[in-house]
Amino acid sequence: MRTLVYDVAADSGGAATVLQSFYEEFKKDTENEYIFVLSVYELSETDNIKVLNFPEVKKSMLHRLYFDHFVAHKLVKKYKADRVLSLQNIELPHTNVPQTVYEHNALPFSEYKFKPWEAFRPWYSQQILGRMMKKSIRRAEKVLVQTNWMKEEIIRQCGIPADRVEVKFPPVEMLKTHPWKMDETCPTFFYPAGPPAYKNHRTFLKACELLKEQEIEDYRVIWTVTGEENEGMKKLKAEAEEKKLPIEFIGPVPRTQLFEQYASSVLVFPSYIETIGLPLLEARSVGAPILAADCLYARDGVEGYEKAEFFETFDSEALSRLMKQKIVEK
């Protein structure tokens, strides 16, 4: 069997991690052949793996569209592939061989629906790209997803049989650290997340405001943003400074520091759109308490974990009450 693995989108981050994991898996499958069609991400060829790089795909969106629609399907014929595995949410167009599609974009299946004036790119992912993804899903022979909640939503929203959808959890490296123990002198609430609006820092900040109104200030909040990433974050940072809230904007941190922080903090995770919510799994691995937005991905990620508590996504009062309990418990 010869499979063409299509992933010209991957270059770094989570997409590259997924690509690398498939590569490591297929290296061991010496009874079959694999042709990886990539842009700039580099892999080594083996006896059963051929790697084709097309860096020009990354020059612009037009280059990418041209490659997707006028070049990629010719490679299927040229290398006589028996099937295609697309790792970029949408099937490879204009080819008749059976396809498996790996879905890792959660936006089209999430509970929250964006408006175009609120955040254009997430809206585009949900309404435009989402339609394309759902068409691909219905046509695909098999669909791979990262979590149980995505499997259930794809079955429900796309109307396909459950046996066509398989959960393939991505590899996650959990670093070893000391057992969890809260800093008793100053309880810490940790939120490792980037600056997109759906990460919902605003609800967290409002919860801190409510605690300040109750004269509760003997705690720390650590965010892994600088506060300079975009206008929204700049505004939040200015508000935190003006109101003298105990929020520290430390920027991105290495994974070793990330796990050290988990081991002495309460994880607060108010994000309302995630595929997995990796910090939930990481904090759980060290035994840290978790306060999470009550979303499908979060319920799935911490199912059965006794130290997890939930609040309605935009309910800053509920979050402040949970934070207050943790401060009192110290």
pLDDT tens-place string over residues 15-38? 777 888 899 889 999 999 999 999
pLDDT at 119 over 80: no
Q: Is residue 286 part of a domain?
A: yes
Average pLDDT over residues 121-147: 88
pLDDT at 151 over 80: yes
CB burial string 192-205: b at 16+ within 10 A, e below: bbebbbbbbbbbbb
Q: Do both 144 and 286 map to the same domain?
A: no
Give the residue from 132, 167, 202 where a domain finishes: 167
Q: Is residue 176 part of a domain?
A: no
Q: At what angle do helices 255-262 and 278-285 cross, to 10 degrees?
A: 60
Residue type present at position 100: T
Give the residue from 167, 201, 233 where a domain finishes: 167
Q: Is residue 55 part of a domain?
A: yes
Q: Dump pLDDT digits (tens) for 256-288.
A: 888 899 999 999 999 988 888 888 988 998 999
Q: At what angle do helices 201-213 and 316-329 cross, to 10 degrees?
A: 60
Q: Do both 89 and 201 map to the same domain?
A: no
Q: What DSSP assignment string belongs to 294-313?
A: --HHHHHHTTT-TTEEEE-T
Contact 172, 281 (CB under 8 A): yes
Q: Do both 26 and 127 map to the same domain?
A: yes
What CATH number has the domain bearing residue 251? Answer: 3.40.50.2000
Average pLDDT over residues 73-78: 94
What is the predicted pLDDT for the residue at 14?
67
Q: Do both 12 and 155 map to the same domain?
A: yes
Q: Do both 152 and 282 map to the same domain?
A: no
CA atoms of 246 and 283, how far apart (whole Å):
22
Q: Do both 163 and 57 map to the same domain?
A: yes
Q: How confident is the model at residue 53 (pLDDT cuts 50, 70, 90)?
A: very high
Q: Do both 149 and 13 map to the same domain?
A: yes
Counted domains in the chain: 2
Average pLDDT over residues 241-266: 90
CA atoms of 41 and 52, how far apart (whole Å):
10
Question: Which of 73-77, 187-191, 194-198 has the lowest average pLDDT?
Answer: 194-198
Residue 315, token pair as written in the block:
């309910």
Question: Which of 60-64, 143-147, 194-198, 281-285 has the lowest average pLDDT?
Answer: 194-198
pLDDT at 111 over 80: no
Range of the domain at 32: 2-167
Q: Do both 94 and 206 map to the same domain?
A: no
Q: Could you tell me where the beta strands, DSSP code E, fall in the chain?
A: 2-7, 33-38, 49-53, 83-86, 99-103, 142-145, 165-167, 188-191, 220-223, 247-249, 266-269, 290-293, 308-311
pLDDT at 233 over 90: no
What is the predicted pLDDT for the residue at 18?
82
Q: Is residue 177 part of a domain?
A: no
Q: How many helices (H) and strands (E) does the chain have?
A: 12, 13
In eight-state DSSP terms, residue 215 is T
Which of 54, 75, 71, 104 is CA-nearest to residue 2? 75
In the numeric block, the tokens 């300079």 are attached to 228
Q: Is residue 174 part of a domain?
A: no
Three-state secondary-structure class, residue 244: coil
CA atoms of 321 and 330, how far apart (whole Å):
15
Average pLDDT over residues 180-192: 87
Average pLDDT over residues 51-70: 91
Residue 194, token pair as written in the block:
């980037």
CA distance between the termini of the chain: 59
Question: Which of 6-15, 130-139, 196-205, 230-239 has the lowest average pLDDT?
Answer: 6-15
Average pLDDT over residues 78-102: 92
Q: Do both 103 and 250 map to the same domain?
A: no
Q: Do both 150 and 256 map to the same domain?
A: no
Q: Is residue 90 part of a domain?
A: yes
Average pLDDT over residues 243-254: 90
What is the predicted pLDDT for the residue at 81?
94
Q: Do both 196 and 273 map to the same domain?
A: yes
Q: Is residue 172 part of a domain?
A: no
Question: Which of 40-44, 59-63, 120-124, 158-162 has the lowest average pLDDT?
Answer: 120-124
Q: Is residue 183 part of a domain?
A: no
Q: How confident is the model at residue 13 (pLDDT cuts 50, 70, 90)?
A: low
What is the predicted pLDDT for the residue at 330?
64
Q: What DSSP assignment string belongs to 200-217?
A: -HHHHHHHHHHHHHTT--
Three-state secondary-structure class, residue 47: coil
Which stretch of DSSP H or E encloses residue 118? none
What is the predicted pLDDT for the residue at 268?
96
Strand 247-249 and strand 142-145: the pairing is unpaired
Residue type present at position 59: K
Mean pLDDT of the chain: 89
Residue 240, token pair as written in the block:
């935190």
Q: How far is CA 233 from CA 84, 127, 153, 201, 291, in A?
A: 41, 26, 31, 9, 22
What strands, in cross-sheet order, belong to the sheet with 188-191? Answer: 247-249, 220-223, 188-191, 266-269, 290-293, 308-311
Q: Do both 58 and 151 map to the same domain?
A: yes
Which of 247, 100, 267, 240 is CA-nearest to residue 182? 267
Contact 189, 261 (CB under 8 A): no
